[in-house]
Amino acid sequence: MTLDRPNITPGINRAALIAILAYCVFAIFMEFVRGMQHAPGGAPYGFESLEERIALSAPLGPQETKGKILYDHYCAVCHGDSGQADGLNASRLTIGPRDFTAPEFRARLKDETAVVKVIREGGLASGLSSSMPPWGLTLNPTQTTELVTYLKKLAGPPAGAPGP
Amino acid sequence: MSEKLEELRVSEEATEVITVRRRRTSGTEGATRTSGEGEVHVWPHLVYRELICTVLVVGVLFAVSLIFDAPLEEQANPSNTPNPAKAAWYFLGLQELLVYFDPWFAGVVLPSLIVAGLVALPYLDINRGDGPGLAAEPRRLAVPVFVAGLAIWFVTILIGQYFRGLSWAWYWPWENWHIPKATEAFSWNFPLPAGLASVGLFGLVGFVLPGLISRRFYRRLGPVRYLTTCFFLTVMAAIPVKILLRLVFGVKYVLATPWFNL
Amino acid sequence: MSLRALFGLSSLLLALLTLATFVDEFTASWADHQREYNTLLAEKATDPALKKELVSRWPVFEQIYNPELGVVDRCILCHRGIDNPDMKNASQPHRSHPGNLLESHPQQKYGCTICHQGQGRATDKQAAWGRVSHWEKPLLTGSFVQATCTRCHVSGDVPQAPLISRGRKMLRSLGCVACHQVEGLGGVDPRVAPDLSGIGSKVTRAWLSRWLTRPDSVLPAPKMPDYGLRSGEVEAIAAYLMQQRSPMVDSAPAVPEGDYDRGSLIYKQFQCIDCHVTRFSRNGKPVGGSIGPALVHVATKTNRKWLFAWLRETHRMQPRTLMPHFKLSDQQAADLVEYICEEWYDPDIEDEVLDEPEPAPGEQKKELAAVGMALFANYGCSGCHGIDHGPSPTRIGPELTYIGSKDLHRFDFGKVDIRHTRPDYFFAKVKDPGQFGKGLDVPSHLLSSRELLERIWKGLTPAALFSERTPLPAGKEDDTVTWILDRVKAAGFLKKATMPPPSDEASRPVWLRKTLENSGAFSVLKMPDFGLSDEDSLALTIALMSLTEEGPPSKRYIASPPATQHFDPQGQVGQLFDRYRCLSCHSVWDQGENLAADLSNEGSRVDRNWLYEFLRRPYSMRRTLTIAMPQFHLTEDEARTLADYLWFVTTRDDIPGRLDPPLTATEAEAGKLLFQAKGCQACHQTSTGGGDVGPSLATQVPDFPVGTWAGDKLREGWVATWLKNPHALLPEAREPRLDLTQAEIRALTAFVMSLRWPGPQQKVNP
């Protein structure tokens, strides 16, 4: 059995085949052309990235912002608004509060767990002043982390690192 | 070779043989047909080919369904209808005709005429005594005319699918069809006398010209078949004419009357 | 090629494609994610058998189904580790849900899409996140999830969702609901804006014009948003407002001569600075409270007569004001007025104010004032500001009750280049509404002059005034231009000296449009600019997103707000609370403000005698505080009534008056040591010194008739309860909660209560 081609009007057959194929190719081409056209109002970003954009335009990151709120509420009264140990109450303490902008604090910040320990368990537990109360029952671990993030911001970049 | 003989024998035995007609020569009008000459059996010659086609079509469908998801859209919202509202692709030709004709014509008369024409076809295409087949060779005019009609159908589908954007306006491929077109295309009507004259002339040409060109055509069909054929031919020819008038010259109606428009 | 070969080939192709469909189905991304997750689990597993089993485990198809919530969620196909605490730091999609929300909202019960939206039934990422066309509710991430909280938390106050709570409050406090109806949120907070009846007798025209033009040029962070009024509009509204006279002020006799020094003393006694900004610090920050309007330039804003009347008859002039009624004599009021006028004026426009002629509502202003009234209604001013015989308060903005479900195509994005989503629209709209105000900005070459004229006519602000329905007169365009100009001029919008119209007739409509735009006769956009910060805009966006048609999925899921005790004192006490507006600063239970101490447990906290004396002679609680209670000069009767009431009513049953067994001196001794050891002295002063953060425990206020040391003032039971957990009594307390045993609490209490003023107790109050 062979595939014998009927020889009736082969010209018409070929023309019809070509026409049908051309039609299909053109239809597929148009499908792509129209598919690439988009409605106006396709700005590069949408609401999903809104939060990121807001965060980018803010001077502080989200963690630092939360940390700053906590710092201003609980800590600034002794440690000062900018962490320079110049809070309203600083002069009244027998042992002055920690200056977060001093180089030795930057060094201490390398060991984050130690700083967290002082915050959570108080100064006395780490052999520091009893004037630093324990905040472990007041702040939850997430808040402590946020606070430390903000402290890092106050302390500035570690010595040797290029400035911002 | 024995296989061939076997086939021949079987075909001779059959009281009525369904055959695929193969004509080796052309232009042998009036030649008597001898049974079995140039014929082959449906099985395996036709069925086998049909089977291959079936398998290929199913295969293509599989492939398409794998590659493309069904374009299902959201729940219909009566207060937010799509613009443009397009029919299913196979009806887009009809929808496209709405641009050129009034709904009563494009939506009622034309489809009815298509059906009527298809029904009438066997009665117009009379057997010429040179075999029962549907061979293309003796139908040098009929086949191209039918194909042209089919082509109108598919070209209008293509236009409707890919060239009609917002508010069914014409959009070239390089135009973004999501951007509304500010102005509506300019359109005009033939004045009534000119319209009447054009339609009358067109009808006259459609009914008279074929008979004038070929007397044999008229004689072979007889008056009833001739007139019926010419009617369908004229209506079909009118469609591309109107499409061109509209798209190129911006003619809205050739015949504009208070009762109906064409 | 033979037919058989072709048939064989095509059949093979079909077979391969059939196989491909199966492969496609079984290599779905969710199955890959599950294998990845199982590998992660296997890495952490210690049991070797389990490890082996995990590695070879087949992916499973699962979904969360809760017909009551309408939830069919297949999110867990990929997010396998959503409730696995070990996956806290894993990469997505394996990471566990942040926070502890799943404890109260287990995902097996609630599913995911009830909060996060998206397409729960989908099994691949893009579709599941709803980032496909036609899916109206794409996945909500980050803070945007809060928008769905209020479906069940119908009160709108969700502790773990601060932005939605804030946004919902802002809808009321900014006055949004004055123009936009939001069902369930109620009307506008009456404190948003003052009543303007009689405003013409109060303010100077120069100040009013400046205020209307740009509120933030008069005050920092004004409550009134910037409507971007044009000069024509300002003039008209000012004309209307200056016509609002108060007979009480106008007919009052002249203000008596006052004395600056005495006024200054009264100012200090009344602690005006608690509520009003009275000056700017050196770095330009306002100093003072925000409850009342800023007074920095009040002498330029108001006239003496009104100030005098206000100080004398505060509550008669504005029954809803937050300001207490100070009992001032005529002379005292005049002294204070003198002090105010000397201190708080704006040098920039003071000359203008002094030159201002005596207000005389002349005939020529009547028409302008009528336009002003129309504008006042048109901008929806009457939504926030009451005004006698003024336009009735109507909501001029579209209703927002279901704005979160409004069809996207019905939002007018105009030419603002943002993504076409609801949240993007909300954010852009509240942050900078001005960018949407391009309604008339039609390319003029597309319009015939006639059409443009019609648009101009329709877009004119006070059209209501000169009968909006009037169609443009038929005739030549040039005549129509003149016709419109005449009407606008008659309404007071155009000064006579306008630019001459161009001779070219065709460009006249465009010229007209520009001229009218400059005159302020257009009201393309009414929504004012609130100057919101990004974060406020975000909160508001989320609040708007939450206003959807979808109610709670089922009644069983409605979260009832925590029960609150309503505080609404009646009778004599109620009158006193009203006259002195105690709740403008203090809070009791769920009522009042948080400027001053919360009085909900005051009766359990302090000694009655001390309370009585304090009401008579209030003093500043600690050195670091800038605010103190004003000296109200309460009579003995009033003070007694209030003290008794607070002492008996604002108590808590679980705080005992005295501890049982009674505290001993030994405990007090132990407490003294403990006080040092725990670092209490860092914040509290005792007789041996100490910090200034907390209240002093051992300071006697001079001339106070009873002791003001801790032991004199506080009650044992309260001190013990406080030491146990300060935040249970006062969530915002600065004092850390210490890890104290019962014995330590008793010892510290005993020590604090032993701190009593050694001086003579002068008297015991009636």
Question: pLDDT band at B79, cuts 50/70/90?
Answer: low
Let me know if residue B215 belongs to a domain: yes
Pair B136, B60 in one domain: no
**Cα-based distances in Å from B243 to A136, B248, B256, C290:** 83, 8, 16, 74
Q: Summarize pLDDT for B213-228 with one digit per residue, the tens.
A: 888 888 888 899 999 9
The token pair at A83 is: 């962490």
Beta bridge partners of C302: C203
Question: pLDDT band at B92, cuts 50/70/90?
Answer: very high
**Residue A80 backbone zone (phi > 0: left; psi -120 to 50: alpha; other: beta):** left
Instruction: Tell me the C-alpha distance between C107 and C558, whole Å.
Output: 17
Averaged pLDDT in 10-residue chunks for chain C of 766 residues: 86 93 84 91 88 88 90 92 87 86 88 91 86 79 88 83 89 89 81 84 88 84 82 82 86 85 88 84 78 83 88 84 86 90 80 64 65 80 85 82 85 78 90 71 57 73 54 75 77 64 71 71 74 90 91 80 76 89 86 83 89 87 74 89 89 85 88 87 84 84 84 90 89 86 91 85 54
In C454-600 the beta strands, taken as DSSP E runs, fall at 587-588, 591-592
Instruction: Tell me the C-alpha distance between A82 and B231, whole Å.
Output: 96
pLDDT score recorded for residue B31: 44
Pair B183, B102 in one domain: yes
CB contact under 8 A, C10 and B55: yes
CB contact under 8 A, C7 and B51: yes
C524 Cα to chain B: minimum distance (Å): 22
The residue length of chain C stands at: 766
Burial grade of A57 (CB within 10 A; 0-12, 13-18, 19 or more): exposed
Question: pLDDT band at B176, cuts 50/70/90?
Answer: confident
Selecting from C417, C683, C736 the residue whose C-beta is nearest the C-beta of A89 gives C683
Q: Say whether residue C734 is in contact with chain A using an 8 A CB cutoff.
A: yes
CB A120 within 8 A of CB A135: yes
Residue B10 has pLDDT above 60, yes or no: no
Residue B168's domain comprises 85-253
Q: Say whether residue A46 is in contact with chain C using an 8 A CB cutoff.
A: yes
CB contact under 8 A, B22 and A12: no
Q: Summarize pLDDT for A58-88 with one digit per residue, the tens.
A: 667 777 888 888 998 898 888 988 888 888 8
Pair B151, B219 in one domain: yes
Encoded amino acid at C167, one letter? G
Residue B2 has pLDDT above 50, yes or no: no
Selecting from A7, A16, A30 the residue whose C-beta is nearest the C-beta of B162 gives A30
CB C687 within 8 A of CB C755: yes
pLDDT score recorded for residue B6: 46
pLDDT, mean of residues A107-135: 87
Instruction: Tell me the C-alpha distance between A39 and B176, whole Å.
Output: 8
Higher pLDDT, B21 or C543: C543
pLDDT score recorded for residue C397: 83
Encoded amino acid at C314, one letter? T
Three-state secondary-structure class, residue C610: helix
Q: Is pTM beyond 0.80 here?
A: no
C732 Cα to chain A: minimum distance (Å): 9
- Residues of chain A numbered 47-86 and touching chain C (CB < 8 Å): 47-48, 50-51, 54, 57-58, 73-74, 77-78
Q: Say whether residue B25 is in contact with chain A using an 8 A CB cutoff.
A: no
Encoded amino acid at C260, one letter? Y
Residues of chain A positioned with their CB less than 8 A from the CB of C423: 46-47, 50
pLDDT score recorded for residue C509: 73
Q: Max alpha carbon distance in chain A (Å)?
A: 113
Pair B230, B175 in one domain: yes
Residue B13 has pLDDT above 50, yes or no: no
Q: Tell me the three-class secondary structure of A32-96, residue by residue.
A: HHHHHCCCCCCCCCCHHHHHHHHHHHCCCCHHHHHHHHHHHHHHHHHHCCCCCCCCCCHHHCCCC
What is the complex's ipTM, to 2 decimals? 0.73
| Average pLDDT over all residues of chain A | 80
Q: Say whether residue C318 is in contact with chain A using an 8 A CB cutoff.
A: no
Residues of chain C positioned with their CB less than 8 A from the CB of B62: 14, 17-18, 20-21
Pair B110, B199 in one domain: yes
Selecting from C17, C410, C446 the residue whose C-beta is nearest the C-beta of B63 gives C17
Residue A125 has pLDDT above 60, yes or no: yes
Q: Summarize pLDDT for B124-157 with one digit per residue, the tens.
A: 887 555 554 566 667 777 888 888 999 999 999 9
- Residues of chain C numbered 410-439 and touching chain B (CB < 8 Å): 410
Pair B102, B203 in one domain: yes
Let me know if residue B199 belongs to a domain: yes
Three-state secondary-structure class, residue B56: helix
Residue A164 has pLDDT above 90, yes or no: no
CB C297 within 8 A of CB C220: no
Instruction: Tell me the C-alpha distance between B83 and B56, whole Å.
Output: 37
Let me know if residue B98 belongs to a domain: yes
CB contact under 8 A, B177 and A26: no
Pair B37, B139 in one domain: no
User: Which of A2, A4, A47 has the highest number of chain C CBs within 10 A, making it the mutation to test binding with C?
Assistant: A47
C408 Cα to chain B: minimum distance (Å): 9
Residue for token pair 């040591």: C673
CB pairs under 8 A between B and C: 43
Cα nearest neighbour of B163 on chain A:
A30
Pair B36, B112 in one domain: no
Query: Which residues lie below 8 Å from residue C385, measured CB to CB, with a gap of 6+?
Result: C193, C194, C195, C196
Instruction: Tell me the C-alpha distance between B56 and C691, whole Å.
Output: 91
Structural domains of chain A ordered from first start: 61-155 (1.10.760.10)
Three-state secondary-structure class, residue C65: strand
The token pair at C590 is: 């769920």
Pair B94, B51 in one domain: no
Residues of chain A positioned with their CB less than 8 A from the CB of B154: 23
Let me know if residue B147 belongs to a domain: yes
Instruction: Tell me the C-alpha distance between C258 and C256, whole Å.
Output: 6
pLDDT score recorded for residue C12: 94
User: Which of C285, C538, C693, C723 has the highest number of chain A CBs within 10 A, making it the mutation to test binding with A?
Assistant: C693
The token pair at B83 is: 């613009």
Instruction: Tell me the C-alpha distance between C57 and C284, whole Å.
Output: 67
| Average pLDDT over all residues of chain B | 80
By DSSP bridging, strand B39-40 and strand C689-690 are unpaired
Name the residue among C268, C328, C262, C337 with its Cα closest to residue C299. Answer: C337
Query: Which residues lie below 8 Å from residue C60, measured CB to CB, with a gap of 6+?
Result: C34
Please spell the DSSP secondary structure of B201-255, one letter per residue: HHHHHHHHHHHHH-HHHHHHHHHHHHHHHHHHHHHHHHHHHHHHHHHHH-EEESS
- Residues of chain B numbered 133-192 and touching chain A (CB < 8 Å): 135-137, 143, 147, 151, 154, 158, 161-162, 173, 176-179
Pair B100, B49 in one domain: no
pLDDT, mean of residues B194-218: 91
CB contact under 8 A, B74 and C136: yes
Q: What is the DSSP code (8-state) at residue A130?
A: T
Instruction: Tell me the C-alpha distance between C405 and C126, whole Å.
Output: 22
Cα nearest neighbour of B137 on chain A:
A9
Neighbours of chain A (3+ CB pairs under 8 A): B, C
Instruction: Tell me the C-alpha distance between B209 and B204, whole Å.
Output: 8
Number of domains in chain B: 2
Higher pLDDT, C562 or A148: A148
CA distance between the termini of chain B: 63
Selecting from B135, B143, B178 the residue whose C-beta is nearest the C-beta of A37 gives B178
Encoded amino acid at C230, one letter? R
A135 Cα to chain B: minimum distance (Å): 54
A50 Cα to chain B: minimum distance (Å): 26
C678 Cα to chain A: minimum distance (Å): 6
pLDDT score recorded for residue C138: 84
Three-state secondary-structure class, residue B165: coil
H/E element, C622: none
Three-state secondary-structure class, residue A94: coil
CB C380 within 8 A of CB C179: yes
Name the residue among C397, C384, C381, C383 with its Cα closest to residue C544. Answer: C397
Selecting from B136, B158, B178 the residue whose C-beta is nearest the C-beta of A38 gives B178
Higher pLDDT, A4 or B142: B142
pLDDT score recorded for residue A1: 40
Pair B121, B224 in one domain: yes
Side-chain-facing half-sphere of C717: CA atoms under 13 Å: 18
Query: Which residues lie below 8 Å from residue B187, measured CB to CB, with a gap of 6+?
Result: B246, B250, B251, B252
Let me know if residue B259 belongs to a domain: no
Pair B114, B15 in one domain: no
User: Long-range contacts: B219-222, Cβ < 8 Å, 24+?
Assistant: B220/B126, B221/B124, B221/B126
Query: Phi and psi for B259 in degrees, rounded to 5?
Result: -100, -40
Side-chain-facing half-sphere of C331: CA atoms under 13 Å: 3
Let me know if residue B258 belongs to a domain: no
